[in-house]
């Protein structure tokens, strides 16, 4: 067979293989958006659990409380951004996210004594599951976990594994829209790609956790921590 024909066949094979990879990858991403969303029906539970993130979560948590699905709400306390800490040094107080959640709940009719905080500087979904496990102290419980639609599948996987004694139900906040054609929406597209990467990272054994206080850390360690949490290396 002539060399030119061999080269031509090789390039055709590479082209077909590339097209196949693109088609399979595109199909996988198309269904990934739908697969990520898991919305289980609410049932009577011991706790409504609000994970850190979008402010739509306490809105739905308050609705569930007022509908009588649980008498207690557990709110995750996430790590505080360095920008917020710097403003506090200047006497400018910005409420922590868990404080914002608590205020939303209060204004929607949830009594303060029905709200509990778990964790102190939760950095990831895995760490939220771990600190919630400590908060529950081994008690068998039924949990209604409220989060964003795109986050629900990973929450179900992580919390079911780390809290085997709990009956975990995951609910997507209806106040946060997630379009079926997610690739046409910039925020939704970013969330799908990030969630897919985070799921893969989790399956490979990875998990982000808050580190001990800053004393004793090297400058490079601080830059790495700040980049992972906040997307910036700057912190004073």
> Taking a C-beta distance cutoff of 8 angstroms, is the pair 75, 50 a contact?
yes
In a domain, 98, yes or no: yes
* Residue 232: per-residue pLDDT: 43
What's 190's domain CATH number? Answer: 3.40.50.620
Euclidean distance between CA atoms 192 and 190, whole angstroms: 6
Euclidean distance between CA atoms 92 and 219, whole angstroms: 26
* Residue 52: per-residue pLDDT: 95
In a domain, 228, yes or no: no
In a domain, 25, yes or no: no
The number of distinct structural domains making up the chain is: 1
- Sign of the Cα torsion 198, 199, 203, 207 reads positive
* Residue 127: per-residue pLDDT: 94
pLDDT, tens digit only, all 236 positions of the chain: 565 555 555 545 565 555 444 444 455 556 667 788 888 999 999 999 999 999 999 999 999 999 999 999 999 999 887 777 788 888 888 889 999 999 999 999 999 999 999 999 898 999 999 999 999 998 889 999 999 999 999 999 999 999 999 999 999 999 998 887 888 888 888 888 888 888 888 878 777 665 544 434 444 444 444 444 434 444 33
In a domain, 37, yes or no: no
Q: What is the dihedral of CA 163, 133, 64, 96, to 10 degrees?
A: -140
DSSP state of 146: E
Tokens linked to 151 = 């986050």
Distance of CA 208 to the CA centre of its chain: 12
* Residue 81: per-residue pLDDT: 78
Which residues span the domain enclosing 126? 47-203
In a domain, 17, yes or no: no
In a domain, 4, yes or no: no
Tokens linked to 33 = 């958006």
Euclidean distance between CA atoms 68 and 62, whole angstroms: 10
In a domain, 177, yes or no: yes
């Amino acid at each position: 067979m002539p060399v030119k024909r061999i080269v031509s066949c090789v390039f055709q094979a590479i082209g077909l293989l590339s097209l196949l990879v693109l088609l399979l990858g595109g199909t996988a991403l198309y269904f990934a958006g739908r697969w990520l969303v898991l919305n289980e029906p609410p049932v009577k539970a011991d706790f409504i659990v609000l994970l850190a993130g979008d402010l739509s979560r306490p809105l739905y948590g308050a609705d569930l409380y007022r509908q009588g699905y649980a008498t207690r709400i557990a709110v995750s306390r996430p790590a505080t951004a360095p920008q917020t800490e710097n403003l506090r040094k200047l006497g400018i107080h910005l409420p922590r996210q868990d404080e914002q959640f608590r205020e939303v709940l209060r204004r929607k009719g949830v009594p303060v004594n029905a709200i509990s905080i778990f964790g102190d500087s939760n950095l990831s979904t895995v760490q939220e599951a771990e600190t919630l496990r400590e908060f529950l102290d081994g008690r068998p419980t039924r949990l209604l976990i409220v989060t964003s639609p795109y986050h629900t599948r990973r929450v179900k996987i992580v919390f079911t594994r780390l809290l085997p004694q709990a009956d975990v139900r995951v609910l997507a906040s209806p106040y946060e829209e997630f379009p079926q054609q997610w690739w046409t929406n910039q925020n939704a597209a970013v969330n799908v790609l990030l969630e897919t990467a985070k799921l893969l990272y989790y399956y490979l054994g990875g998990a982000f956790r808050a580190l001990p206080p800053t004393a004793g850390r090297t400058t490079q360690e601080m830059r790495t921590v700040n980049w992972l949490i906040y997307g910036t290396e700057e912190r004073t």
